[in-house]
Structure 1
Amino acid sequence: MYNILDEAFEKRYAVPQFNMNGLIWLESILKTAEKCRAPVIVGTTDKIVDELGGFELLAQVFQNMKKNLGVTVPAVLHLDHGQTVDRCIEAVNAGYGSVMYDGSKLPIAENVNNTSKVVEYAHRHRVTVEGEVGSVGGTEDGVYSDLSYADENECIQLAEEAGIDSLAPALGSVHGKYKGEPNLGFEEMARLRQFTNVPFVLHGASGISDADLQKAISYGHAKINYNTELNIAWSEALRKVLTENQELYAPMEILKPSKHALEVVIEEVIRRTGAYQKAMI
């Protein structure tokens, strides 16, 4: 992850993170990244890790699928919204390449203290750490949060004192579907960028316009997270095939259109974030 994010940050494009909700997602993400010659991050939200089989199984499946598919582009398995220090350590031990400790709901001193513990352990294993300040609104994988803008001073404090590798400052994005037009805090991004050289992470990117996305990338968002956009495409394709072919019962035939829908959206996002063919360089 070190090389992936540093290069994206320096050259002002972003590496997309796609959250997986099952093997169909993982296969589609890796295949499409390889096809597009793009670096990619596969996110597993802490809330559903156990439902998917646990950290060790996910790490093993990730490595085995990369090998079986012949993936040669940089691909990293990332823990999204790690809820506790222990969960982050568990992910590191299982073989994750990156973890996020989400202490955004805690007082800043406690957030810094816990994130520092994760950083200390993760860095010993060459694993990168993402931290968060503020609260990305909306619902993702059953977790709801009210929107709360990140405090500039707290962002600087977390970046400097905890030694994180990337920072997710909540500045107007939300998880899930947007109600109305997204209203990102570009002024806050620009001001914060003056005080820290840590790559930013944008959560809740599904539904953000290309123009706003490019503007966010210009302020140093080197990692952009997608989940809802993929899930909508997958569910719509699945619903369509089940509605139009009610006698169909072969699982692979039912799932084939939804896998294709995932791959189409993933490629669109890779192009949108500027990661397309960046693994060629």
Structure 2
Amino acid sequence: MTLQEKFNELEQKNSALLATNFYNFETVTGILQAVKTLGMPIILQASPSTIDYLGVNMTVALARSSLEKHEVEGWLHLDHAHSFSLIQQCLDAGFDSVMIDASEKSFEENVEITSKVTELAKNYGANVEAELGYVAKLGQAQQKEDGFTKPEEAKKFEEQTGINALAVAIGSAHGFYTSEPKLDLDRLQEIDNVTECALVLHGGSGIPKNQVQEGIRRGIRKINVATEIKDIFMSTLQADLRDNDEIDLRKVFPPAIHKVDELVQSKLMIIKSLHN
């Protein structure tokens, strides 16, 4: 099943997919242990920084072999790419889905750049995600309402680019929140009413369960989580190593893997409990 087909299925069920970034063998193992335990599908995401670290072919091999090992349903997605050449490399290497992020460009430039990617992706049958509006990235100021995605622009953007998925700016942000976020769920509903593509919630780390679930009810089909995975893995590892002279990596990493497993299970349960 392609990711586009999965999004169509989720639309009928009014459900969503969790999309988690991975960084190495240990983090992808923790993620997929959780997925296996709960019997749910997953999107594994690799950012350009992860690809710089692992290499394109190693990223694909790690994701594919891990999905096969754990016998779970999943897709591989390129997260927040700005480079057309990187997108082409990832598609050539076998990514199921790519995100072109031209959200900091003008509307017209975003349309032009995204349209080139959707045309390219047709040759691979791949899913294309874009972003419209201002979703604050690490180190940037939290977004204000004037940077939120406008429903009429979302409709126009979808029509002009042919995207499959759209990351919307409704009050979330990448990284940690300094105060509890408050999603503009009415705006999300308006966007969902005038678009057909899958709507994506970026900055899923730290958003309260009730807001995530209401977001799913109002059209969110993909929920991104990255920051919490890095944080729980590293904080666990740092704590364990503080008074530990163990040098066997195979004994050092499992507790951190377990914490990633627990975290991802808690995120998956937000989706699963919505339908129980």
TM > 0.5 fold call = yes
Residue 8 of structure 1 aligns with which residue?
10
**TM-score normalised by the chain length of structure 2:** 0.92
Residue 63 of structure 1 aligns with which residue?
64
For 1:4 and 1:277, the matched residues in 2 are separated by: 17
Q: Which runs of 5+ in 2 are unaligned?
A: none
For 1:276 and 1:266, the matched residues in 2 are separated by: 16
Quick check: 1:45 aligned with 2:51?
no
Q: What percentage of residue pairs aligned between the two structures are identical?
A: 27
Deviation of 1:259 after TM superposition, in Å, equals: 0.5
Deviation of 1:189 after TM superposition, in Å, equals: 0.8
**TM-score normalised by the chain length of structure 1:** 0.90
Task: Report matched runs for 1:38-117 at 5 Å.
Answer: 38-51=40-53, 53-67=54-68, 69-71=69-71, 73-117=72-116
Deviation of 1:119 after TM superposition, in Å, equals: 0.8
Classify the secondary structure of the residue corresponding to 2:153: helix
For 1:228 and 1:6, the matched residues in 2 are separated by: 28
Classify the secondary structure of the residue corresponding to 2:129: strand
Deviation of 1:104 after TM superposition, in Å, equals: 0.2
Q: Contact 1:235–1:258 (CA<8 Å) still a contact in 2?
A: yes
Post-superposition Cα deviations, 1:111-156, rounded to whole Å, max 9, x if no partner, equal 11111111111122111001110121141xxx75762322333211
Q: Which runs of 5+ in 1 are unaligned?
A: none
Residue 268 of structure 1 aligns with which residue?
266
Q: Contact 1:122–1:128 (CA<8 Å) still a contact in 2?
A: yes
In 2 relative to 1, CA 249–47 (structure 1 residues): closer, same or farther, beyond 3 Å? closer
For 1:138 and 1:257, the matched residues in 2 are separated by: 29
| Structure 1 moving runs of 4+ over 6 Å | 275-278
2:51 aligned partner, one-letter code: V
Post-superposition Cα deviations, 1:218-249, rounded to whole Å, max 9, x if no partner, equal 11101000011222221221122112x42222
Residue 22 of structure 1 aligns with which residue?
24
Deviation of 1:190 after TM superposition, in Å, equals: 1.5
Task: Report matched runs for 1:226-245 at 5 Å.
Answer: 226-243=225-242, 245=243
Residue 211 of structure 1 aligns with which residue?
210
Classify the secondary structure of the residue corresponding to 1:18: strand
Q: Contact 1:166–1:199 (CA<8 Å) still a contact in 2?
A: yes
Post-superposition Cα deviations, 1:80-101, rounded to whole Å, max 9, x if no partner, equal 0011222212211110000011
